[in-house]
Amino acid sequence: MSYHDLSDSGMSDQDRRAEATRICGMILPAVGDYTMKQKELKFVMDIADKRKPVSTKQLFWLRDLKDKYL
């Protein structure tokens, strides 16, 4: 079994930000359609702030939330 370093996705900062912005744009309009935990909602709202960088781990969690709720 190979080791996958979750701190490196091979994406640039701009690529991670662009994907995070796209995913937040999918999740946020549908927030009222499902019951999202407060911690999850706060995370999505924080990531939606385009001034902040997005780490690889944050992007992976955001992808998981998208899969969970959409």
Q: Are residues 18 and 59 in contact, defined by beta-carbon separation less than 8 angstroms?
A: no
| The residue to which tokens 């706060």 are assigned | 42
Per-residue pLDDT at 4 exceeds 50: no
Does the residue 52 lie in any domain? yes
Query: Cα separation of 17 and 32, whole Å?
Result: 24
**Count of domains in the chain?**
1
Cβ neighbors of 64 (< 8 A, separation 6 or more) are: none
As a whole number, the mean pLDDT across the chain is: 86
Does the residue 17 lie in any domain? no
Does the residue 55 lie in any domain? yes
Does the residue 66 lie in any domain? yes
Burial class (CB in 10 A: 0-12, 13-18, 19+), 24: buried
pLDDT at 55: 94
**pTM of the predicted model over 0.85:** no
Give the three-class secondary structure for 12.
coil
Its domain, for residue 69, covers: 35-70
Question: 64: pLDDT confidence band, cut at 50, 70 and 90?
Answer: very high
Does the residue 65 lie in any domain? yes
Question: 7: pLDDT confidence band, cut at 50, 70 and 90?
Answer: low
